[in-house]
Amino acid sequence: MVHQFIPQQNPSGIAEVSFTLPTTSTAAAGMVSWVNPLNRPVWASVNVAWTTAGTGTFDMGISNDGTGAAATIIDGGTMAVGSINAIRSAATAGAAGPNFYIAGNGTAGDSIVASHSDTPTSTAVGKAVIRYWPA
């Protein structure tokens, strides 16, 4: 009998990636560097959860090719125990909402990056979850 591996399909079309957040990097894109793997735009939602607190702040935003630093999603987020469900700022008309538009792979704006804003301590423990689906 021949066994075939059949990949499990997600009926909702939503893919999910998670990252254990490093606690000592202050380099650009040092916490998270996720590049949209699809050759088409996607919508993405971002959640960050800290299970052990640390000092310092972090920024997360939309960037190019998974490099650089950006604060368009979270600006000066604290590393306090709890969860942050990133929501776009309502400062611009029509800009409020829980989802972020990420360009297709290889196009400007195709990634989400995060970095520590200042010197964090190594006591923080956390994860980031990015869910994405075709736009």
Would you say residue 119 has pLDDT above 60? yes
- pLDDT (mean) for 82-101: 64
Q: What does the pLDDT read at residue 36?
A: 92
Would you say residue 10 has pLDDT above 60? yes
Q: Domain 15-86+97-134, what architecture? A: Sandwich (2.60)
pLDDT digits (tens, 9 = 90+) for 12-70: 788 888 888 887 666 666 788 899 999 999 989 888 888 988 877 888 889 999 888 88
Q: What does the pLDDT read at residue 8?
A: 42
Would you say residue 91 has pLDDT above 70? no
pTM (2 d.p.)? 0.80
Would you say residue 85 has pLDDT above 80? no
pLDDT band at 122 (very low <50, low <70, confident <90, very high): low
Percent of the chain at pLDDT > 90 equals 7
DSSP string, the chain: ------PPP-TT--EEEEEEPPSS--STTSSEEEE--SSS-EEEEEEEEEEE--SSEEEEEEEBTTBS---SSEEEEE--SEEEE--B-TTSTT--BS-EEEPPTTSTT-EEEEEESS---TT-EEEEEEEEEE-
Would you say residue 124 has pLDDT above 50? yes
